[in-house]
Amino acid sequence: MTPLLSIEHVSKAYDATQALDDVSIEIQPNEFFALLGPSGCGKTTLLRSIAGFEDPDSGAISILGDDGTSTSLLSLPPNKRPVNLMFQSYALFPHMNVRKNIAYGLEREGLSRSEVDARVAEVLETVSLVDKAKARPAQLSGGQRQRVALARAIVKRPRLLLLDEPLSALDRKVRVEMQLELKRLQHEVGITFVVVTHDQEEAMSMADRIAVMHDGRVQQIADPVTLYSRPANVFVADFIGSGTLLPGEVSGDTFSALERRLPCNNASGVHGPAVLMLRPESVRVTPDDSDACLRGSVIETHFYGGSSITAIRVDGVEQPVVARSAGAPRYSMGEEVGLLWDAAEAVVLAVGGSSETPP
């Protein structure tokens, strides 16, 4: 499939910091795509480069038109790009009511009054704000403001909608609601969404695919399940979800730590120092340690209602191994236990430098 948006080898530096370092991403039509990373990773710079508020030092960004030809975005000013940005602060015009805020972009296109009215009415319906058309932004709640900002952007029917931390200004409760709402709206209007977020749960729950960024570089591009179960490198493994990273070494096709060979999935692609990533739900705790992969003593247990977390200290390993199991904790503090996992669920990652995405 021809990508809707192609970002090719884009770099941008501010003084000493490399905000974007040779970033290449392809975004497909109708995709819900997330740019995920800690603050300062370059995700917002990339978003603003697509919108036209930052000028990359090198590289190309192009978008596929309705007629199937691709247009370079970088030569166009922000007001001529077929993309719209929903700002983190929402940036609603305080001196205009909701209706005028939404109509603003359509009026700039020079559409007839009746068409503007019809499209504004339609989008107000979509975001369920018909009764707030005459209200000023200051009179709205956080969630309503977010919906106005969204309506103002989607009413332009952009090829691509960029959303900068769309949920960060909302309360936790409203945030979960709006995650579902955004996903529903994206389906309904059929616009490609690119969301910037630092919240991995938000990205995982909404996006079809995620690009994890760090220090201006793309670390991995994959769907949420792959990111979680098959991270491409130590950064992604650490950033996404929780788990234990066991330091060790690979020689040939075996991973060993603490002078033991440990079961793992993909050691053949890696050489030398490495870590073994174990997700909590992959680790089984057993009282019988005859066939255990590792042994240790229980140092902490937490009960979360439906499931519980057990932390086990293994001699010679700094980080405790964490295991999640259904129901109440079955082991008490200080108890000696064995740890088991399936080779298929343990991922070996090279230390210092990123290995290829495992198949």
Least Å distance between CB 190 and another protein?
A: 20
The span of 29-37, 104-112, 234-242, 246-254 binding another protein (CB under 8 A) equals 104-112
Q: Please identify, using beta-carbon distances, which residue of 79 and 290 lies nearer to another protein.
A: 79
The span of 33-41, 79-87, 301-309, 323-331 binding another protein (CB under 8 A) equals 79-87
The identity of residue 355, as a single letter, is S
Is 158 in a helix, a strand, or coil?
coil
Helices and strands (DSSP H and E) totals, the chain: 8, 20
For another protein, the binding residue among 56, 105, 241, 338 (CB under 8 A) is: 105
Least Å distance between CB 10 and another protein?
A: 19
Least Å distance between CB 104 and another protein?
A: 6
- Three-state SS string over 211-248 comes to EEEECCEEEEEECHHHHHHCCCCHHHHHHCCCCEEEEE
Based on the number of CB atoms within 10 Å of its own CB, is 327 exposed (0-12), middle (13-18) or buried (19 or more)? exposed
Contact between 109 and another protein by CB under 8 A: the answer reads yes
The identity of residue 289, as a single letter, is D
Q: Please give the residues from 1 up to 60 whose contact with another protein meets the rule CB under 8 A.
A: 51-53
Cα(212)–Cα(222) distance, rounded to whole angstroms?
9
Strands 294-303 and 260-262: unpaired
Size of the site for another protein (CB under 8 A): 25
For another protein, the binding residue among 65, 72, 78, 316 (CB under 8 A) is: 78
Residue whose tokens read 């399936």? 342
Are the C-beta atoms of residues 348 and 266 closer than 8 Å to each other?
yes
Contact between 133 and another protein by CB under 8 A: the answer reads no
Cα(226)–Cα(344) distance, rounded to whole angstroms?
13
Contact between 89 and another protein by CB under 8 A: the answer reads yes
Q: Please identify, using beta-carbon distances, which residue of 149 and 222 lies nearer to another protein.
A: 149
Least Å distance between CB 198 and another protein?
A: 18
For another protein, the binding residue among 14, 72, 108, 121 (CB under 8 A) is: 108
Least Å distance between CB 97 and another protein?
A: 10
Chain center to CA of 70: 27
Strands 284-286 and 294-303: unpaired
Least Å distance between CB 194 and another protein?
A: 14
Q: Please identify, using beta-carbon distances, which residue of 136 and 330 lies nearer to another protein.
A: 136
Q: In the sheet that 5-14 helps form, which strands lie side by side, from edge to edge?
A: 17-27, 5-14, 58-64, 70-72
Contact between 136 and another protein by CB under 8 A: the answer reads yes
Are the C-beta atoms of residues 90 and 146 closer than 8 Å to each other?
yes
User: Which string of x and - marks every residue 260-289 that binds another protein (by CB under 8 A)?
Assistant: ------------------------------
Least Å distance between CB 116 and another protein?
A: 13
Q: Please identify, using beta-carbon distances, which residue of 75 and 79 lies nearer to another protein.
A: 79
Chain center to CA of 116: 35
Q: Please identify, using beta-carbon distances, which residue of 65 and 316 lies nearer to another protein.
A: 65
Cα(279)–Cα(75) distance, rounded to whole angstroms?
45
Are the C-beta atoms of residues 342 and 282 closer than 8 Å to each other?
yes
List the structure tokens of 310: 């057990």
All residues at 6 or more sequence positions from 67 whose CB lies less than 8 Å from its CB, including other chains: none
Least Å distance between CB 111 and another protein?
A: 11
Partner residues linked to 33 by β-bridges: 194, 209
Contact between 306 and another protein by CB under 8 A: the answer reads no
The span of 100-108, 202-210, 230-238, 283-291 binding another protein (CB under 8 A) equals 100-108
Least Å distance between CB 55 and another protein?
A: 14
Residue whose tokens read 């690009």? 211
For another protein, the binding residue among 6, 84, 179, 355 (CB under 8 A) is: 84
Return residues touching another protein (CB under 8 A).
Answer: 51-53, 77-80, 84-85, 87-89, 91-95, 104-105, 108-109, 136, 152-153, 156
